[in-house]
Amino acid sequence: MTQLSPAAQAVLDAFTEDNALHNWSQNCYKTIALAAALCAVADQAIPMTKTPWGSTLVPVLTAQESRERILAIATELEAL
């Protein structure tokens, strides 16, 4: 398996902590789904907006605001 950055490894460790499937080299589709979920979190928490003129607007958020948005998504999902 590829060596992961500490940040990616922490996310994978958190995901596999309560998951019965730990042989990720045989179940790569699970990591692809995890990556897709992280992309969706970024898109939802810090959305980029296209203007009619073709430029992109990126919201100016503090680290705390970004963190709160991401944690709100996690909290909502934990409640399922």
Residue 30: name the closest of 18, 44, 14, 16 by CA. 16
First to last CA, the chain: 32
What pLDDT does 33 receive?
86
Q: Which domain holds residue 49?
A: 6-78
**What phi and psi values does residue 53 have, to the nearest 5 degrees?**
-95, 5
Q: What is the pLDDT of residues 38-65, one digit of tens each?
A: 999 999 999 898 888 989 888 899 999 9
* Residue 1 falls inside a structural domain: no
Count of the separate structural domains present in the chain? 1
* Residue of 15, 61, 47 lying closest to 34 (CA atoms): 15
Element (H, E) at 56: strand 56-57
- Residue 39 in any domain: the answer is yes
Q: What pLDDT is attached to residue 59?
A: 84
Dist CA 21 CA 43 (whole Å): 27
User: Does the pLDDT at position 20 exceed 80?
Assistant: no
Residue 14 lies in a domain: yes
Looking at residue 30, what is its pLDDT? 78
